[in-house]
C-alpha cells in the first residue's frame, strides 16, 4: 500500500522557501504509474530497498514539481547521494514505512539535509549512544532515548546538508547536540574542523518535529 505524496509544513518561520513532501509506503509497493526508471543497483536490490528508494524518489520528484513546476527524479551518485537538477539542493530520508524529501533553490540555500527516525527504545538508544554520541553527549543525553534519537538524527541531517559542500566522510563525533527547546529548535556544535569555512566551535541550527513515534529533523546551510 502506498499513499500519495503529501506536501507538509513541519516548521513555521523558515528562512528558506523549500518544499517538503512525504508519503507512506510498504515493502511491496511497485513502480506502476510512477514513470521512474530504477538504476541497475536498485533494480537488483531487495524488494524493501527498491520500495524505499522509489518512495524517496517519488517524494523528491513531487517536491521538485511543486518548487519549479517540473517534476524530475534525482539521479544517484556512486556514493549513493542524490543528484539534483542544476540550481536545486535537496535531501531524502526514509524509515521502513515513511519517505520524505525536501527541495529548495540553490540560490536560497547551499545545503539541505533531512532525516526521519523512529524514536529509539532504551536498548536502541544505548547502542546508538555508544557509537554516535561524543563523551560529553553521553553524559548529558544518554539516559533519554528521545534525546539520543534527536542527536543522531540531527547529525545525519547535518551530514547530508554538508555533503555537497565538503564531499568527504564525517564522523558522528565531529559534532554534538548542545541545545534544544520545546519549539523544535536544536543546535549542533562542531567539535572538529570540517573545512576552513566550518571550523571547530561553529554552531549550526537544526529543527525537529515529533509525529507519534517518528522524529523528523532538518538542517539548512544558508547562502
Ligand atoms: C548517508 C547516510 C547519512 C544515510 O542515512 P540512512 O540512515 O542510511 O538513511 P536515510 O533514510 O536517512 O537517508 C537515506 C538517503 O540519504 C541520501 N544520501 C545517501 N548518501 C548521501 C550523502 N553522502 N549525502 C547526502 N545524502 C545522501 C540518499 O538519498 C538516501 O536514500 P536513497 O539511497 O534511497 O536515495 C548514512 O547512511 C551514512 O552514510 N552515514 C555515515 C556518515 C554519517 O552519517 N555521518 C553523520 C555524522 S555527522
Indicate whether residue 25 lines ligand 1 (CB < 6 A). no
Indicate whether residue 176 lines ligand 1 (CB < 6 A). no
Indicate whether residue 84 lines ligand 1 (CB < 6 A). no
Tell me how far apart the alpha carbons of residues 10 and 152 are, in angstroms, rounded to a whole number: 19
Q: Which atom of ligand 1 is nearest to the CA of 49?
A: 34
CATH code 3.90.470.20 region(s) in the chain: 6-107, 115-222
CATH pick for 115-222 out of 3.40.50.11810, 3.90.190.20, 3.30.930.10, 3.90.470.20: 3.90.470.20
Indicate whether residue 81 lines ligand 1 (CB < 6 A). yes
Q: Which atom of ligand 1 is nearest to the CA of 53?
A: 34
Q: What is the CATH number of domain 6-107?
A: 3.90.470.20
Q: Does the model's pTM come out above 0.95?
A: yes
pLDDT tens-place values along the chain, 223 residues long: 678 999 999 999 999 999 999 999 987 766 556 788 899 999 999 999 999 999 999 999 999 999 999 999 999 999 999 999 999 999 999 999 999 999 999 999 999 999 999 999 999 999 999 999 999 999 999 999 999 999 999 999 999 999 999 999 999 999 999 999 999 999 999 999 999 999 999 999 999 999 999 999 999 999 9
Tell me how far apart the alpha carbons of residues 25 and 48 are, in angstroms, rounded to a whole number: 10
Cβ within 8 Å of residue 218, ≥6 positions away = 10, 11, 20, 91, 102, 112, 113, 114, 115, 157, 206, 207, 208
Amino acid at each position: 500500500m502506498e499513499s500519495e505524496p503529501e506536501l507538509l509544513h513541519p516548521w513555521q518561520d523558515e528562512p528558506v522557501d523549500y518544499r517538503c513532501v512525504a508519503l507512506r509506503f510498504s515493502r511491496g509497493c511497485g513502480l506502476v504509474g510512477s514513470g521512474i526508471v530504477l538504476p541497475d543497483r536498485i533494480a537488483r536490490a531487495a524488494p524493501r530497498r527498491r520500495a524505499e528508494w522509489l518512495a524517496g524518489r517519488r517524494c523528491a520528484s513531487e517536491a521538485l514539481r511543486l518548487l519549479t513546476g517540473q517534476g524530475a527524479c534525482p539521479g544517484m551518485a556512486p556514493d549513493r547521494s542524490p543528484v539534483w537538477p542544476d540550481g536545486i539542493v535537496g535531501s531524502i530520508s526514509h524509515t521502513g514505512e515513511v519517505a520524505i524529501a525536501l527541495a529548495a533553490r540553490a540560490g536560497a540555500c547551499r545545503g539541505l539535509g533531512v532525516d526521519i527516525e523512529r524514536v529509539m527504545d532504551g536498548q536502541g538508544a544505548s547502542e546508538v549512544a555508544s557509537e554516535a554520541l561524543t563523551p560529553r553527549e553521553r553524559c548529558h543525553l544518554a539516559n533519554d532515548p528521545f534525546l539520543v534519537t534527536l542527536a543522531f538524527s540531527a547529525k545525519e541531517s547535518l551530514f547530508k546538508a554538508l555533503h555537497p559542500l565538503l564531499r568527504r566522510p564525517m564522523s558522528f563525533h565531529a559534532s554534538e547536540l548542545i541545545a534544544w527547546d520545546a519549539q523544535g529548535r536544536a543546535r549542533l556544535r562542531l567539535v572538529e574542523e570540517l573545512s576552513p569555512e566550518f571550523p571547530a566551535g561553529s554552531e549550526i541550527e537544526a529543527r525537529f518535529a515529533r509525529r507519534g513515534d517518528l522524529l523528523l529533523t532538518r538542517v539548512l546551510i544558508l547562502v
